[in-house]
Amino acid sequence: MWRHVYNPSRLTVMDSCKTVTGVIEESSANEDGDQHMLLKLDAGQAGLLTEKNIQKKQGDLVIEAVCVNNTTLDKVGDDCKGYVNNIQTPALGAHVKVSGSYVIDTHNGWAEIHPATKIEVIR
């Protein structure tokens, strides 16, 4: 999945395979083709958040599912060309389990699961 991540050099991998749980509080399409979500983590996972998550993302963890949407940003290039990500995109308010790479976005300072490799709704 990493070959489909736009500008991966900005992401510092803290854990290549991490699973978290929480509730989807926000979801929107990014210009780079990713689905950008904010996840209110379940209790016991607050240690995954940085100060920037708290200040800029309402205390939520950022989740990015790559190449879910059409790319509208020219500088992305061919990162998503020929690849369709069929990952499940949950509804707002869904309680989910998310797996993927746990990273720090060095441009913004917040923590993310990026790219998310699996999103499962917990019933």
Give the chain's domains with CATH numbers: 2-121 (2.40.50.140)
Q: What residue type is assigned to position 3 of the chain? A: R
> Quick one: 56 exposed, middle or buried, by C-beta within 10 A (0-12, 13-18, 19+)?
middle
Cα–Cα nearest to 98, from 31, 25, 29: 25
> Quick one: 96 exposed, middle or buried, by C-beta within 10 A (0-12, 13-18, 19+)?
buried
Q: Is the pTM of this model over 0.85?
A: yes
Q: What is the pLDDT of residue 82?
A: 86
C-beta of residue 99 within 8 angstroms of C-beta of residue 116: yes
1-23 pLDDT per residue, tens = 899 998 999 999 999 999 999 99
Instruction: Give the pLDDT band (50/70/90) at residue 62.
Output: very high
Distance of CA 45 to the CA centre of its chain: 16
Q: What is the pLDDT of residue 52?
A: 98
